[in-house]
A and B are shown apart, each in its own frame.
Chain A
Amino acid sequence: MTIIALSHLAKRFGAIQALRDVNATITGNIIGLLGPNGAGKSTLLKCLLGLIPFEGTASVLGLSAATDGSAIRDRVGYMPEQEALLGDMSAVELCTYAGELSGLPRTEAMQRAHAALYYAGLEDKRYQPIEGYSTGMKQRVKLAQALVHDPELLFLDEPTNGLDPRSRDEMLDLIVDLPQRRGCAIILSTHLLPDVERVCDHAVIMHQASVKFVGTIDELRGARGDDTALTVDVKADAAKLAAALTEAGATCSVSSPIQLAVDLPAQATTELVFRRARDAGIQIRGIEVRRESVEAAFLRVVGADKDVAA
Chain B
Amino acid sequence: MSESTIHDLGYKRYVGTRQPTSRRWRVIARQQISSSWQTFFRYKAWLVSAVIVTVIAAVFIFIATDKRWHLGHGVQQTFANMALPFALDWYGRLAFIITLRIGSGVIAGDFQRGAFTFYFARSTRPIDYLLGKVGGLAALLGIVLVVAPLSVALMRVGLAGAGSTDELVPQLWLVPKVLAIGGLATLAYTTVPLAFSALVENRRYALGVWAAWYLIAGPVAYGIGRVTHLPLAALDIAASVKSVTLHLLDAPVTPWGQSVYDLPSLTASITSLGIQIVVAIAIVLWRLDAAQRSGVGGAT
Contacts and interface: CB of A to CB of B under 8 A. Distances in A.
A306 interface: no
A42 B21 CA distance: 25
Nearest to A33: B300
A98 B118 contact: yes
A265 to B, nearest CB: 46
A149 B296 contact: no
A85 B113 contact: yes
Contacts of A149: 14, 122
A82 B117 contact: yes
Contacts of A145: 118
A37 B24 contact: no
A182 B11 contact: yes
Counting chain A CB atoms within 10 Å of each CB, the highest count among B113, B114, B124 belongs to B113
Interface in A117-160: 145, 149-150, 157-158
Contacts of B35: 88-89
B30 to A, nearest CB: 9
A189 B299 CA distance: 12
Contact of A105 (B16, B125, B296, B298): B16
Given A49-B121, A70-B125, A80-B117, A103 B19 contact: yes
A52 interface: yes
Nearest to B294: A46
Task: Report whether over half of chain B's contact residues are helix, strand or loop; otherwise say mixed.
Answer: loop
A85 B118 contact: yes
Interface string A59-92: 0000000000011011010101111111111000
Contacts of A105: 16, 19
A111 to B, nearest CB: 10
Given A82-B117, A84-B114, A86-B118, A102 B18 contact: yes
Nearest to B34: A93
A86 B113 contact: yes
Contact of B293 (A51, A73, A74, A88): A51
B13 interface: yes
B120 interface: yes
Contact of B300 (A41, A97, A183): A41
B115 interface: yes
A65 B179 CA distance: 45
B128 to A, nearest CB: 9
A150 B14 contact: yes
Contact of A98 (B11, B122, B293, B296): B122
A182 B297 CA distance: 24
Interface in B1-36: 10-11, 13-14, 16, 18-21, 24, 27-28, 31, 35
Contacts of B120: 51
Most buried by B among A49, A76, A84, A101: A101
Nearest to A119: B11
B119 interface: yes
A104 interface: yes
A150 B122 CA distance: 12
A102 B122 contact: yes
Given A101-B122, A112-B14, A82 B298 contact: yes
A221 B28 CA distance: 48
Contacts of A51: 120, 292-293, 296-297
B228 interface: no
B121 A80 contact: yes
A103 B128 CA distance: 12
Given A104-B16, A183-B11, 18 more contacts: A41-B300, A42-B298, A49-B121, A76-B121, A84-B114, A85-B115, A86-B110, A88-B38, A89-B35, A97-B27, A97-B31, A98-B122, A101-B123, A103-B21, A103-B24, A104-B19, A112-B14, A157-B298
15 contacts: A52-B293, A73-B121, A73-B122, A74-B18, A78-B296, A80-B114, A82-B117, A84-B115, A86-B115, A97-B31, A100-B27, A101-B27, A101-B28, A102-B18, A181-B11
Q: Top 7 closest A-B pairs, CB basis?
A: A103-B18, A42-B297, A78-B121, A84-B117, A150-B14, A84-B114, A70-B123
